[in-house]
Amino acid sequence: MSAKILVVEDEEKLARFVELELIHEGYEVRTEGSGRAALAEALAGSYDLILLDIMLPELNGLEVLRRLKKEKDTPVILLTARDAVMDKVSGLDAGAVDYVTKPFAIEELLARIRVALKLHPRQDGNVQGVQTTSEGMLVWGPLTMDIPRHRVTMNGHEIPLTNREFLMLRTLLENMDIVLSRDTLLEKVCGYEYAGETNVIDVYIRYLRSKIDDVFDVHMIRTVRGVGYVINKWEA
């Protein structure tokens, strides 16, 4: 499952444009046009990020934000009018992680979304679908990752992994259903000091797929175009 984004915008053309761009980037998107409906949806649903316009009918964006934050920690990026300095300040005070001023270039919005998702990974969905046993095992369907023994098996067959392949697989499994960017993976797998190319991540993904997906005929590691990689919950 890719990252889920709730777009709250009452200008229909703009909402539709943003929705299409986000879908094109591989996100799962829902749009709401009123503050009240948006708040209900944000509270009921499970979103990785909310894009929230401030000027909305029924309940304005800042009020939606304040009420949402009492219940949930979903990251919110505000869409504000140019020069609405007070809105920006109030919004950040109320817990928004960022804001984008209208009219915006879609590339800027997409970049801020990527940053927000990276800095605020979803908490509640973290290890759903992965069972973590007391012995430090991660279990994804037929695959078992024995962390202390540094051993990965699929249906009992051992899969030989290098240290970095192991770390990569572990990171993806521990962040089940969260799309991790190449930069995030790079930090986890190669460390902060790593100064090489981020495409080294693609290379490790290829190695992992050749050892797991290809051999055992599963579709474990998914590519989310323009975003990164994810392992979704095991589905039998």
Part in contact with Ca ion (CB under 5 A); list of ranges 49-57, 102-110, 147-155, 157-165: 49-57
Tell me the C-alpha distance between 193 and 169, whole Å.
Answer: 20
Part in contact with Ca ion (CB under 5 A); list of ranges 52-60, 103-111, 122-130, 185-193: 52-60
Answer yes or no: are the C-beta atoms of 4 and 45 closer than 8 Å. Answer: yes
Comparing CB distances to Ca ion, the nearer of 14 and 224 is 14
Question: Is 153 in a helix, a strand, or coil?
Answer: strand
Establish if 1 lies at the interface with Ca ion (CB under 5 A): no
Considering CB under 5 A, how many residues would be counted as binding Ca ion? 3
Tell me the C-alpha distance between 147 and 183, whole Å.
Answer: 23
Answer yes or no: are the C-beta atoms of 95 and 71 closer than 8 Å. Answer: no
List binders of Ca ion among 7-26 (CB under 5 A): 10
To Ca ion, the closest distance from the beta carbon of 154 in angstroms equals 50
Angle, vertex CA 225, rays to CA 77 and CA 6, nearest 5:
30
Answer yes or no: are the C-beta atoms of 155 and 106 closer than 8 Å. Answer: no
Establish if 55 lies at the interface with Ca ion (CB under 5 A): yes
Comparing CB distances to Ca ion, the nearer of 33 and 95 is 33
To Ca ion, the closest distance from the beta carbon of 74 in angstroms equals 20
Comparing CB distances to Ca ion, the nearer of 53 and 98 is 53
**Chain-centroid distance, C-alpha 143:** 23
Part in contact with Ca ion (CB under 5 A); list of ranges 2-10, 104-112, 137-145, 225-233: 2-10
Comparing CB distances to Ca ion, the nearer of 53 and 177 is 53
111 contact partners, CB below 8 Å, separation of at least 6: none
To Ca ion, the closest distance from the beta carbon of 53 in angstroms equals 4
Establish if 32 lies at the interface with Ca ion (CB under 5 A): no
Placement of tokens 């929705």 in the chain: 19
Burial 77-94 (b: 16+ CB within 10 A, else e): bbbbeeebeebbebbeeb
Part in contact with Ca ion (CB under 5 A); list of ranges 28-36, 54-62, 68-76, 114-122: 54-62
Comparing CB distances to Ca ion, the nearer of 65 and 212 is 65
Sign of the C-alpha dihedral, residues 14, 17, 21, 24?
positive
For the record, the structure tokens of 166 come out as 């192991």
Tell me the C-alpha distance between 31 and 40, whole Å.
Answer: 12
Comparing CB distances to Ca ion, the nearer of 82 and 225 is 82
To Ca ion, the closest distance from the beta carbon of 172 in angstroms equals 38
To Ca ion, the closest distance from the beta carbon of 12 in angstroms equals 10
Question: What is the contact surface with Ca ion in residues (CB under 5 A)?
Answer: 10, 53, 55
